[in-house]
Homo-oligomer: A and B are copies of this chain.
């Protein structure tokens, strides 16, 4: 075993701090509160070569792995910034195309996406399906050489600011397939296609990305929009789920550290009685517990990422990392709030607004209970519980 980062990895990990010199949390919050995306930051990240980390160099990428992408996200979190478009983009759109796309698809989508000139969304969730993807109803019906898409998707992050989307739709009904995971196809959807409508979902999360309901009314899709094989999309999809969990874990361990750094500064300065409040174990022990759990989760996240890049099945590790990082980050932010007392709730100190996004991570993109059931079943060998 070797727990050291390479020089290149260290540079990637520290990029977030550098980026935050220009695009800091104040900027992030301001954009979030005005409902605007981080356009300049995204473009800058593209120019700096961080959106195509996992893409071959000939398509504008860096030829690295999810390990480096996760370090990027973690390092940004350390500095109090994040963008969920790194999931929808590099993890769930760019990388699948780089791995499974035709040469034409790669050439068409990757250079602009890596450069930050285009953005993408990921569309799987539906109102009646939730975590049970078998219930997906959005249907792409054969229509000549192409398809006609009808249905709707829910909780689509950044649908309004995306140029493309990777969309999961049924192409064959459940009663017509051999294996229940067959019948789904992945489409590369052009968001300017006629027949797409969207309405924002008002949620209580402070983030620069908006969530959308997206409706499809006879949207035309061509054969060139199919990623991989028709009816065999689920297999490809599985490749993206672990990266998604790894990246969310990275964001959370980063945010946790950011919150703890703030709390430590405050606890070292704030005096109410004799000593700084950080000298009381009632204040410092919860911070130390959260710190420990953050570092533990970060290790598991890195192990999962390393396994993924090695081609080793990392389902258990990815789910453990996702679970642990969300729990640790919630604990870290909560301890930071409590350390700040009343100031933990003010805009000035900027602590409470860290909470909603880390709390959301306990629930999305997959909720804690499903994660625990996965670990029970696939890591421990217990029966399926649902």
Q: Which one of A42-50, A75-83, A240-248, A371-379 contacts B?
A: A371-379
State how many residues of chain A have any CB contact under 8 Å with chain B: 89
A22 beta carbon closer than 8 Å to chain B: no
**Contact in complex: B268, A295 (CB < 8 Å):** no
Interface locus among A190-198, A214-222, A285-293: A285-293
Chain B nearest CB, measured from A20 CB (Å):
21
Q: When the two chains form their complex, are residues B342 and A363 in contact, meaning their CB atoms are under 8 A apart? A: yes
Q: Is the CB of A342 within 8 A of B155?
A: yes
- Contact indicator A383/B320 (Cβ below 8 Å): no
Report A258-280 CB contacts with B as 1/0, cut-off 8 Å: 00100010011010111110111
Give A137-176 interface residues, CB cut-off 8 Å to B.
154-155
Complex: chain B residue closest to A129, CB-CB: B272
Is A113 interfacial (CB-CB < 8 Å)? no
A4 within 8 A of B: yes
Q: Is A284 in the interface zone, CB < 8 Å from B?
A: yes
Q: Tell whether, in the assembled complex, residue B369 and residue A282 are in contact, meaning their CB atoms are under 8 Å apart.
A: yes
Is A386 in the interface zone, CB < 8 Å from B?
yes
Q: Assuming A283-B369, A303-B299, is B345 touching A203 (CB within 8 A)?
A: yes
Stretch at the interface among A86-94, A101-109, A351-359: A351-359
Chain B nearest Cβ from A123, distance in angstroms = 14
Docked-complex contact B320 and A338, CB < 8 angstroms:
no
Nearest-CB residue, chain B, relative to A320: B292
* B281 lies within 8 A of A280 (CB): yes
Docked CA distance A280–B2 (Å): 39
Q: CB-nearest residue of chain B relative to A362?
A: B338
A372's partner among B204, B282, B362, B364 (CB-CB below 8 A) is B282
Q: For residue A267, which residues in chain B have a CB less than 8 angstroms away from its CB? A: 382
Taking a contact as CB atoms under 8 Å apart, the answer to whether A280 and B363 are in contact is no
- Report Cα–Cα, A382/B270, bound state, in Å: 12
Number of copies: 4
Query: What separation, in Å, do the CA atoms of A21 and B108 have in the docked complex?
Result: 58
Q: Is there contact, CB below 8 Å, between B288 and A376?
A: yes
Q: Is A285 touching B369 in the complex (CB atoms < 8 A)?
A: yes
CA distance in complex: A282, B344 (Å): 22
- Chain B residues with CB under 8 Å of A270's CB are 130
CA distance A264 to B363 in the complex (A): 18
Q: Does A307 contact B (CB under 8 A)?
A: yes
Bound-state CA distance A299–B201 (Å) is: 39
Give A181 to B277 CA distance when docked, in angstroms. 22
A5 at the interface (CB under 8 A from B): yes
Q: Contact check: which of B264, B300, B363 meets A381 at CB < 8 Å?
A: B264
Task: Give the contacting residue for A282; candidates B132, B201, B373; CB below 8 A.
Answer: B373
- Assess whether A38 is interfacial by the CB under 8 Å rule: no
**A291→B337 contact, CB < 8 A:** no
Q: Is the CB of A363 within 8 A of B341?
A: yes
Contacting pair B380 A363 (CB below 8 A): no
Choose from B130, B268, B299, B356 the contact partner of A383 (Cβ within 8 Å).
Answer: B268
**A317 to B3 Cα, complex, angstroms:** 12
Interface check A368, CB cutoff 8 A: yes
Is the CB of A360 closer than 8 A to any CB of chain B?
yes
A234 touches B (CB below 8 Å):
no
User: Are B337 and A202 touching (Cβ within 8 A)?
Assistant: no
What is the distance, in angstroms, from A68's C-beta to the closest C-beta of chain B?
A: 11
Give the 4 A-B residue pairs with the shortest CB-CB distance, closest first.
A281-B282, A202-B347, A204-B352, A282-B369
11 extra interface residue pairs, beta carbon distance < 8 Å, beyond A2-B2, A282-B369, A291-B380 = A1-B67, A1-B303, A1-B306, A125-B342, A131-B341, A202-B346, A288-B373, A296-B299, A299-B303, A341-B367, A342-B363
